[in-house]
Amino acid sequence: MVNSKGRAEIFVSGRVQGVGYRYFTEDIAAEMSLTGFTKNLSDGRVHVEVEGEVDEIKKFIERLRTGPSAARVLNVQIKWKDYEGIYPDFSIRF
């Protein structure tokens, strides 16, 4: 059987800084038992790296496309990668 776990590197652009986007991301990752991190980038985007069940990651990405109520997501770029199991939990990086 094919491994059902994976990893995605995600870049979210739009009005996604200063609106609680990283906290929103952390909450839904915990809710979905996903691990990884999120952080603001100097160019205004939010970088998210997430690992877990591929089906859950896909649902997670759909939620990222909406974001919290104050956010306005314009673009979500996704790079799929092999699962490595390198994150103990999901955290916000500064």
pLDDT, one tens digit per residue, over 19-67 is 999 999 999 999 999 999 999 999 999 999 999 999 999 999 999 999 9
pLDDT band at 7 (very low <50, low <70, confident <90, very high): very high
Q: Is 22 a catalytic residue?
A: yes
CB atoms under 10 Å from CB of 87, counted, come to 17
Owner of token pair 């691990």: 35
Which candidate in 3, 15, 40, 63 is catalytic?
40
Calpha distance 51→91 (Å, rounded): 12
Predicted local confidence at residue 74, as pLDDT: 98
Predicted local confidence at residue 37, as pLDDT: 98
Calpha distance 21→72 (Å, rounded): 10
Tell me, rounded to whole angstroms, the distance of Cα 60 from its chain centroid.
7
| Average pLDDT score over residue span 84-93 | 97
Which candidate in 22, 45, 72, 93 is catalytic?
22
Listed residue (59, 65, 51, 50) closest to 16, CA to CA: 65
Which distant-in-sequence residues (6+ apart) come within 8 Å of 16 by Cβ? 44, 45, 46, 67, 71, 72, 73
pLDDT band at 1 (very low <50, low <70, confident <90, very high): very low
